[in-house]
A and B are shown apart, each in its own frame.
Chain A
Amino acid sequence: MKTVTLTMTNPPELYLEGQNITPDAFAGKTAAEIAAIDVWEGKLKSPLGKYFTVEGNGGATAAETRIILRGDCSRLKRVGQQMTAGEIVIEGDADMYIGGWMKGGKIHVKGNVDSFCGLAMEGGELIIDGKAGHHLGSSPRGEWRGMQGGLIRVAGSAGNDTATFMNGGTIIIGGDADIHVSTHAEGGTVIIKGNAKGRVGGQMVKGDIYVFGQIENPLPGFKQVGEVEQEVDGVKARFIHYIGDLGERHPVSKGKPVYGNIYTRI
């Protein structure tokens, strides 16, 4: 695997859109060629080298390319958008859409990220050591086919609208989650190690939500059906099992309705 190191030396006045900062775009390119790749600051299109110093060449394929981002990338958006393979490490904070529409590979952000990260993810891994903003692993506006697969792991807390329209994959939040988790979900798993504020599983058709702490304000559309013991993200524990959203439609499989599940740790 070859490593390309980008160091932000000339930060943008506004924000930088870096949808081309992916192993897919860097593969097969030399450092000089990578420095010539387009990035946008508002209506200005510039070569990446205007903002970053570039060291190292890309690997032969995306899978053989690792990108390390250094310097202040807190105003950098869309890193790893639609990436299929390879690895990205962001050594500090990053802005919006990190790992959006990601299909494969791995992104590791060592700081915090803003909203819309892991949007419409299909595969791969997005690891965030800090906290995440809103709409983590959510679906783009109007799209009913949200996150399809892959893993998002956030060490800290997440904002509201995690996993809206989720269809598959797993989101693990180490801290607390704000309102609206798995709204309209039709699959997938969300694990919240801390507390959830409320509106968990609203309009949910299918899927699983685990809350290790408390749900501050549970919805009336969920009904307690029993207790289960399960291993969740390596932790074996007993949970109270709720089904819902009973206000929402539910498909029938083998003569039985299929519900969304919420498990809260006892």
Chain B
Amino acid sequence: MANKITLNMITQRSIEEGVAMEKGKTTPEYFEACSIIELHDEDIKALGLVPNQLVRVTSECGSVVVKVVKGRQTLYPGLAFIPQGVWANQIVPPRTQATGEPQYSGFPVTVEPVASGERRKSALELVQGAVGMWRGEQ
């Protein structure tokens, strides 16, 4: 059991994200669809986690708290997935390698269980918080 592992992260669309996004990015559906990380069983085990626990995922440019779920669309060990959306974009490296496209897929992250008391933040809190506009739940 490790308290931190390094994985290769990809972020792509999921249908749950698609449906929820059209409903609205401030809805609970969007929150549940996107604030998750899918991992392979072996990696969940390596971290000593059980599904639905929260983890902190950290990349070269940021960090986010998300909930662990077992890979719905099967991953191989070492590969991790966060659905496209606000949570994924907290850690997507903006480097484009002079193509215009950020590194949405294929970047190293570390995954570790959260410290006690840490929670998943809402989409609005993350985005408004990042630009200094978060005024707390209204």
- A contact set with B: CB distance below 8 Å: 115-116, 133-135, 159-161, 178
Contact = CB atoms under 8 A, between A and B. Distances in A.
A171 B45 CA distance: 49
A116 B98 CA distance: 9
Nearest to A114: B98
A115 B99 CA distance: 11
Shortest Cβ-Cβ A-B pairs, 10 listed: A134-B98, A115-B98, A160-B97, A135-B98, A134-B97, A133-B98, A159-B97, A161-B98, A159-B98, A116-B98
Contacts of B97: 134, 159-161, 178
Interface of B: 97-98
A115 B97 CA distance: 9
A182 B113 CA distance: 44
Contacts of A159: 97-98
Contacts of A178: 97
6 contacts: A115-B98, A116-B98, A159-B97, A160-B97, A161-B97, A178-B97
Contacts of B98: 115-116, 133-135, 159-161
B105 to A, nearest CB: 15
Nearest to B97: A160
A253 to B, nearest CB: 34
Contacts of A135: 98
A160 B97 CA distance: 7
A116 B97 CA distance: 11
A112 to B, nearest CB: 15
Nearest to A134: B98
A158 to B, nearest CB: 12
Contacts of A133: 98
B96 to A, nearest CB: 9
A116 B96 CA distance: 14
A178 B95 CA distance: 14
Nearest to A179: B97
Contacts of A134: 97-98
A176 to B, nearest CB: 15
B101 to A, nearest CB: 13
- With a 10 A CB-CB cut-off, give which of A116, A134, A178 has the most chain B CB atoms: A134
Nearest to A116: B98
A159 B97 CA distance: 8
A134 B97 CA distance: 7
A135 B96 CA distance: 12
A160 B96 CA distance: 11
A208 to B, nearest CB: 24
A224 to B, nearest CB: 29
Nearest to A160: B97
A23 to B, nearest CB: 28
Nearest to B98: A134
Contacts of A161: 97-98
A30 B98 CA distance: 38
Nearest to A135: B98
B66 to A, nearest CB: 29
A133 B96 CA distance: 12
B11 to A, nearest CB: 20
Contacts of A160: 97-98
A114 to B, nearest CB: 9
A246 B98 CA distance: 28
A160 B98 CA distance: 8
B107 to A, nearest CB: 14
Nearest to A180: B97
Given A115-B98, A135-B98, A160-B97, 9 more contacts: A116-B98, A133-B98, A134-B97, A134-B98, A159-B97, A159-B98, A161-B97, A161-B98, A178-B97
A133 B99 CA distance: 12
